[in-house]
Amino acid sequence: MFDLNTLWFILIAVLWIGFFFLEGFDFGVGMLLPFLGKKDEERRAVINAIGPHWDGNEVWLLTAGGATFAAFPNWYATLFSGFYLALFLLLIGLIVRGVAFEFRSKNFEPKWRRFWDGAIFVGSFLPALLLGVAFANLARGVPIDGNMMFTGNLLTLLNPYGLLGGLTSVAVFLLHGAIFLELKLGGGLRERAEAFAKILWVPALVLVVLLAVASFFFTGIASRLEALAYVLPAAALVVLLLAGFFLTRKRIGWAFGMTGLTIVLTLVTFFALLFPRVMISSTDLAFSLDIWNASSSPYTLKLMTIVAAIFVPLILAYQGYTYWVFRKRVSGEKKDLVY
């Protein structure tokens, strides 16, 4: 049975997947910034690798939020009010990060630049961690009462499985970002990015394995997904292994595709586990929100489907185009770094 509710669940999943794929590497780049760029020009080069893109990437998050509000108001209301403090911290991270990209090079003072580089690091780390924690908790289930109200607090989210989810997203984004930089940078920076990527591959792999195993204990994955419960995580692991293989063979474009695919498959697993529920209640499964009791009216869903059918292809086309326009490596030479 395929209805508009299902379509919107898939569309929101696609928006999140797009967001994690794209912002995944620029969170990774942000976290790597202080370690990879030793000199000021190098740090500028690292930032310029994502410079034209990060803001557009972040819009995927805004769109996921907006689409959730429009298609599943109860999901939006329960999730955003429930994860209140976590989202506050996420917002603070995104705020200082976005401002830091714009502000850091505008003043010559080394102290000023160090400060904003630190802000880029924190502002990339915090959202990466918190989003991982949030998604793991959604998979695990959170306390929700019969009125669709979240009854936990911030500490409810900071359970071992949630934290494992957070660490995994941090590790995978770091790897994804390092490989992206290897693709985009030139000279010594590129070699450094390569060395980082090879090291970062190890914790990413370990954490993805751990998360996959833990999911069998902390979520209902085995009973809900049956065979897929093994196929999907296994596929995510295989592509991550392939990423490592391509890294050693210096097929960097392929390696980047593979870490991207790891992110995609992990999230596909997550959304498959969730479906057709959108928020699982750990208080009583009957209190869970699903794509029907959380959704908008058929009229609004139909309307939004038309809107999405018009705009999503357009967005994909012109956003893809920006990556093509700025496909050249960032040289790291000073004359190219001024903007």
Partner 1 sequence: MDPVILSRLQFAATTIYHFFFVPLTLGLVWVVAGLHTMYHRTGDEKWKRMTKFWGKLFLINFAMGVVTGIVQEFQFGMNWSEYSRYVGDIFGAPLAIEALSAFFLESTFLGIWIFGWDRIPKKLHLASIWLAAIGSNLSALWILIANSFMQHPVGYDPASLEAGRLVLSNFAELIFNRKAWLAFPHTILAGLTTAAFFMFGISAWHLARKQHVEIFKKSFQIAAVLGLVAVCLTGLIGHEQGVEVMETQPMKMAAIEALWQNDLDEPGSPFSVLTIFDGSGKGEVWSLRIPRLLSLISCFDLNCEVLGVEQVQAQYAELYGPGDYIPLMSFVYWGFRIMFYSALLMIGLGGLAILAMLRKRVEKMKLMKWFPLAIFLPYLANTGGWIVTEMGRQPWIVQGLLKTQDAMSPNLSSGMILFTLIGFIAIYAALMVADVYLLVRFAKAGPDATDRGVVGEPVLVEK
List of residues contacting partner 1 (CB under 8 A)? 48, 51-53, 55-56, 58-59, 61-63, 65-71, 73-74, 76-82, 84-85, 87-88, 91-92, 94-99, 101-103, 105-109, 147-151, 296-297, 299-300, 303-304, 307-308, 311-312, 315, 318-319, 322, 325-326, 338-339
Q: Which is nearer to partner 1, 52 or 160 (CB)?
A: 52
Minimum gap (Å) between residue 41 Cβ and partner 1: 12
CA gap 149, 301 in Å, rounded: 24
Minimum gap (Å) between residue 286 Cβ and partner 1: 19
Minimum gap (Å) between residue 89 Cβ and partner 1: 9
Q: Which is nearer to partner 1, 25 or 101 (CB)?
A: 101
C-alpha closest to that of 269 among 138, 77, 162: 138
Q: Which residue has the tokens 């071992």?
A: 160
Minimum gap (Å) between residue 101 Cβ and partner 1: 7
Q: Which amino acid, 98? A: G
Helix H or strand E encompassing 290: strand 289-290
Minimum gap (Å) between residue 224 Cβ and partner 1: 27
Q: Which is nearer to partner 1, 227 or 325 (CB)?
A: 325
C-alpha closest to that of 263 among 182, 208, 197: 208
Helix H or strand E encompassing 279: strand 277-279
CB of 319 closer than 8 Å to CB of 21: no
3-class SS of residue 282: coil
Q: Which is nearer to partner 1, 103 or 254 (CB)?
A: 103
